[in-house]
Amino acid sequence: MPDLAAPLIAWFRSNARDLPWRAPGFSAWGTLVSEFMLQQTPVNRVIPHLAAWLERWPTPTALAGDAPAAAVAQWANLGYPRRALWLHRAAVEIRDRHEGIVPRRVEDLLALTGIGDYTARAVAVFAYGDRHPVVDTNTRRVLARALEGRSQPGAPSKGDLATMAALLPEDQAEAAIVNAAAMELGAVVCTARAPRCEACPIAHACAWRAASYPDTGDGRRRQARYEGSDRQARGAILRALRHAPTHELPEEAVASDLADRAQRDRAIDSLVADGLIEASGGTLRLPR
């Protein structure tokens, strides 16, 4: 296997974006919050929301002491609002089980609500400097191309972690950089749509390039249509509640513009089931 670590490290040292969570002294809590926000939301949309969030809640305990409603409202238009609820739950768990300190062990991080294989290792590596493989969608695409000669990765699997682990240098600090560099490369050079191979530090060792860029992107499912969907209806209801003075509104006033009554009721029921809203006496509100 070619040594990808050395060129990745060199490239990252001179090309890494100046992102807030890479600033020296950025807290583990800040890293955790940033990773929650970055779960499926683009970097540029996260940055201003992250700053506002940390100003309001500088510690897990501060967030845990506030109502879930405050978290869901502050989440604004970042998307997938259940992440706000999960982040609040994680803060409560950190306060109650870890004395208010973001845990360092992957096992403990995985036990927190809303944290999976990616986020647990991202916090352990980027906040605490420990040596673990960190694999996100960018890294999976980079590895699929460089090592397998495929244009897109296959389904996520535990094997991804083993593959990345095999590329990491022994040195802890360098291993962390390789993890970050693989993600960064996928985000800005080895992109899904129009990769900039002329700027790639590992192009010389890339199996996809050597194979003349075959299109192996078969079998990819299309994202469901959003316009007119139940998800859009949920979003409209939540947006109305976020903007309401006390985060509550009469059920009849919520999303009255939703033409499909059955769809509105479905959306309300599913939001209640998810814990994102509460319903009682004809009133809808964000969770207290």
Where does this chain bind DNA (CB under 7 A)?
19, 21-22, 34-35, 38-43, 45, 77-82, 86, 113-120, 122, 136-138, 141, 155-157, 183-184, 186-187, 191-194, 220-226, 229-232, 234-236, 238-239, 270
CB 288, min distance to DNA, A: 19
The string of DSSP letters for 147-183 reads HH--SS--S--HHHHHHHHHH--SSHHHHHHHHHHHH
Q: Residue 209: name the closest of 220, 219, 222, 200 by CA.
A: 200
Nearer to DNA, 38 or 168 (CB): 38
Nearer to DNA, 90 or 203 (CB): 90
CB 73, min distance to DNA, A: 11
Q: What is the largest CA-CA distance in the chain?
A: 66
CB 283, min distance to DNA, A: 20
Q: Any alpha helices (H) in the chain, and if so which ranges?
A: 5-15, 28-37, 43-56, 60-64, 68-74, 82-97, 106-110, 117-122, 137-148, 158-167, 172-188, 207-210, 230-243, 261-274
193: buried, middle or exposed (CB in 10 Å: 19+, 13-18, 0-12)? exposed
Amino acid code (one letter) for 198: E
CB 19, min distance to DNA, A: 5
CB 82, min distance to DNA, A: 5
Degrees (nearest 5) of the Cα angle 231, 233, 237? 115
Nearer to DNA, 34 or 163 (CB): 34
Task: Determine the Cα–Cα distance for residues 170 and 8; give it in Å rounded to an integer.
Answer: 15
Task: Determine the Cα–Cα distance for residues 192 and 185; give it in Å rounded to an integer.
Answer: 11
Nearer to DNA, 14 or 223 (CB): 223
Nearer to DNA, 2 or 240 (CB): 240
CB 58, min distance to DNA, A: 20
Which is it for strands 248-250 and 283-285: parallel, antiparallel or unpaired? antiparallel
35 is catalytic: yes
Task: Determine the Cα–Cα distance for residues 200 and 171; give it in Å rounded to an integer.
Answer: 24
Q: Residue 77: name the closest of 32, 46, 35 by CA.
A: 46
CA dihedral 70, 76, 81, 86 (to 10 degrees): -40
Nearer to DNA, 20 or 149 (CB): 20
Positions marked active-site: 35
